[in-house]
Structure 1
Amino acid sequence: MTIDHVGLTVSESKFQETLQVYLEALKPLGYTKTHQFGDYVVGLGSAQGCPDNKPVPDFWLTGAKDVGESKTHVAFKTNGEHAGVSYVVCARGLKSTTDRATVDAFHAAALKAGAKDNGAPGVRAMYHPNYYGAFLIDPAGNNFEAVCHLPA
């Protein structure tokens, strides 16, 4: 089973700041803003791998008044024919970039946009020998990462 899309809900007070982090961090993965409904619902996606070359939103950010602190983990896959959003242990595939440099670019862009480092780009051999990931915390407190599973 695969996931069609992932949505994070953050406090309205953190929405714009969090959105900016994801807009910048996901550029190296080919993501752009594809949909917006009102002030607090935005869909992000990429056209890579889509037959009609039109971006498909598979990552949604929603703002709500009373959220509390969010602790969701999202991993953005950066390689393979089914790259895309990976949420917990399931993955939904559309996009494809194929190298560790994309993980590095993702991490740098996220830091520049205001995310906090939660693990610099590097091999995480405890997962498997080719697991190259970078972890960050968005302004709403969510842990997110980009990962490449290919050898260097």
Structure 2
Amino acid sequence: MFDHIGFGVSDINQSREFFLQALSPLGVGLAMEGPNSIGLGKQGKPSLWLYASSAVAAPLHIAIAAATRAEVDAFYQAAIAAGGRDNGAPGLRPHYHPNYYAAFVFGPDGHNVEAVCHRPQEE
């Protein structure tokens, strides 16, 4: 449904480094950059915009699609290494559906960043 979404962050440089490192295992990279904003996405198309703001939004929940469970695991490790705080290690969440495999990390402004794979375990 969404083409892109954006929100303000308290420290654009800190958020830039966190999101680039955390989302790299999911194939997300820097797509565009402005004086006080960055657009992150796949294949050069910005889907997530971060912009410097003194009025930061209340913590959001942002879920990024992963192609495999291994990508979810790699996201979690990269996000923790980038300074994220654990909010749920990689694993199944069968209360959503039997193949819902996800990990959750709080980013620099307290946003709950999730990587999720809806596919069964790779053979």
Partners in 2 of 1:7 and 1:66 — Cα distance? Answer: 13
Q: Unpaired runs of 5+ in structure 2?
A: none
- Runs of 4+ aligned structure 1 residues displaced above 2 Å come to none
Q: Structure 2 counterpart of 1:150, which letter?
A: R
Post-superposition offset of 1:6? 1.3
CA-atom RMSD in angstroms: 1.1
- How many equivalent pairs are there? 121
Report if aligned partners of 1:8, 1:72 keep a CA contact under 8 Å in 2.
no
Post-superposition offset of 1:110? 0.5
Q: Unpaired runs of 5+ in structure 1?
A: 48-54, 79-97
Partner of 1:76: 64
| TM-score normalised by L of structure 1 | 0.76
What pairs up with 1:60-71 in 2 under 5 angstroms?
60-67=49-56, 70-71=58-59
Q: Name the SS for the 2:19 alignment partner.
A: helix
More strand by share: 1
What pairs up with 1:112-123 in 2 under 5 angstroms?
112-123=81-92
Report if aligned partners of 1:138, 1:144 keep a CA contact under 8 Å in 2.
yes
Post-superposition offset of 1:9? 1.1
Post-superposition offset of 1:16? 1.6
Report if aligned partners of 1:118, 1:135 keep a CA contact under 8 Å in 2.
yes
Partners in 1 of 2:99 and 2:55 — Cα distance? Answer: 40
Q: Name the SS for the 2:51 alignment partner.
A: strand
Cα deviation 1:30-69 (Å, max 9, x = unaligned): 111111110x20001111xxxxxxx1111111111233x6
Does 2:21 correspond to 1:24? yes
Partners in 2 of 1:142 and 1:148 — Cα distance? Answer: 20
Give aligned-pair identity as a percent. Answer: 45
Q: Name the SS for the 2:17 alignment partner.
A: helix
Q: Relative to 1, partners in 2 of residues 1:64 and 1:130: Cα closer, same or farther, differing over 3 Å?
A: same
Partner of 1:87: none
What pairs up with 1:1-152 in 2 under 5 angstroms?
2-11=1-10, 14-38=11-35, 40-47=36-43, 55-67=44-56, 70-78=58-66, 98-152=67-121
